[in-house]
Amino acid sequence: MQSINKALIHQDTDWWRKSVVYQVYPKSFNDTTGNGTGDIRGLTQRLDYLYELGVDIIWLQPVYVSPQRDNGYDVADYCRINPDFGTMKDFEELSQEIQARGMHLMIDIVVNHSSTEHVWFQEARQSRDNPYRDYYIWHDPAPDGGPPNNWKSKFGGPAWQYDQTTDQYFLTLFDKTQADLNWENPKVRQEVVKLLEFWAEKGVSGFRLDVINLISKDQRFLSDDRSTAPGDGRKYYTDGPRVHEYIHELYEKVFQKYNNVTVGEMSSTSLEHCIRYSNPEKKELSMTFNFHHLKVDYPKGQKWELMPYDFEMLKSLFSEWQMGMQQGGGWSALFFNNHDQPRAISRFLDDSVYHAESAKLLATTLHGLQGTPYIFQGEEIGMANPKWSDIEEFRDVESLNMYRILQEQGKSAEEALNMIRERSRDNSRTPMQWDDSPNAGFTSGTPWIKIDERYPQINVQAQLKDPNSIYHHYQKLIRLRKTVQVITDGNYQRLDEAHPQIYAYQRSNEKETMIVISNFSGQEAKFQIPDSCYLQLKDQALVSAELLIGNTEQALELKQSITLSPYASYMWLVHRRSL
């Protein structure tokens, strides 16, 4: 490798703790060619928009060479740009322009698996003694000729694919064309180090590591006895036996050298593991994503069943993870939305009558927590789930697989479609809504996926003009994170005690206390701050309480008894009296 670019080394080793990350799904962000698909130059063209919003880190999702079976998470070449998105020159220009604005670029690293079109796999399947054979996980058929064990793919069906040429099965925890890499092989780990260094030298400041807690498999490859739900084999490869060793190795060889910001996507993980992944003393990752709070509408953990979300469970999970990570010295990536989830405004609140209030409530509630907030493209203008009318409108491989599987399980076509409408990852992948021109200003051609019909009312251009818009609310929250210290280092305490409508919490350090109160319902709600908390605040000088931000026209004062209008959300700061 070339010598380290000194400009990339930041003096502040935890510079990202006061940062906000903006996630770009490039296929749907901005199209400059008219082919209906977003591209790298489209992001470069919109950098000033993101700069004005105030974000610090731009997370660009995969733009590598890929057959696009899983929208780029099936990588066929880790060091080449997919021509559909542009060229390496385009990427280098993007990196330079981001740095010129004082922002940072984060990219996806997908190394639990590769595409079966990757040259490593193409070589590996040639013969059992091929030098690349051990880059992947192969096993002989079971005695009956079937898969080696009963593990299930997260996209539906068995997690093993039969290769007729060599009469063995290879492991695929996701799509059947995404072959799991064998991290037990040190050559695979060396390849990962090389590709990380390649991109760090291109000016990349950070890495988002896709399902990184699945890279270490229990080498016994036992069938799941289904003694614990969901019984699909995940207990044998989730937070596996050598996962911390492998991630620490990446830290020692790459992340520390470049002072990268790193975030691990953690599938079905535990609080204890996430503390270890993200505690600086362990020298692994900067922060972790966990998804427990986004399963509160899964009946008995089943994604492809429907129920109203469990509000108390949502609050309890946020509180458990806030306090646990705080006590264990870990750090969370905070989010309600991403490319794999339906839009939170449609899922949890009101995306029609109380559209603006709902979007601002989610933002205020999340950005007051400890961790690094992530904004998924369009979230800052309140983009919602589109209105799907037919299965032909969907593009996501998981959704299409499940539409078939649900019917095989006895659902009617309409029942299956309704579940897909609610759960599909395509809900978040519709094009960015820039203005009220045709195709929402995303493309001059035919979009690769449908655009939400509400774009004439919900778009960037309209919100930039409105000082009370959702966009400007996000902009103010981002500024607050940089100026209010308690948002970064304050201890968390929940205040609402299972209130059926209200989520309330406080954050406190030695100098100040912040209170956040949100009404997650469409009805007026009354809330009383607990005596213990209120008396302490009063002793600190409650008269100096400052309303930092609210999502209604009412400048509500902080009192012990408060009445909140539907979907109202407020954040106050109380300065401690000087002694």
Residue 450, SS3? coil
- Where are the extended beta strands (E) located within 203-249? 206-209
265 as an active site residue: the answer is: yes
Whether omega for the bond prior to residue 386 falls within 30 degrees of 0, making it cis, is no
Q: Please report how the helices 397-408 and 413-423 are oriented relative to each other, as an axis angle in degrees rounded to 10.
A: 150
210, 239, 297, 496: the catalytic one is 210
Tell me which DSSP letter residue 158 carries.
B
- Cα–Cα distance for residue pair 304/148, rounded to 1 Å: 26
Helix H or strand E encompassing 512: strand 512-519
Taking the CA atoms of 389, 392, 393 and 398 in sequence, report the sign of the dihedral they define.
Answer: positive
Residue pair 264/212 in contact (Cβ under 8 Å)? The answer is: yes
Task: Identify which of 214, 280, 210 has the alpha carbon closest to the alpha carbon of residue 251.
Answer: 280
What are the angstrom distances between the C-alpha of 504 and each of 23, 99, 346, 364, 500? 27, 38, 22, 11, 11
What are the angstrom distances between the C-alpha of 406 and each of 305, 400, 411? 10, 10, 6
- Cα–Cα distance for residue pair 246/263, rounded to 1 Å: 15
Helix H or strand E encompassing 83: none
90, 265, 357, 398: the catalytic one is 265
Which residues are part of the catalytic machinery?
Answer: 210, 265
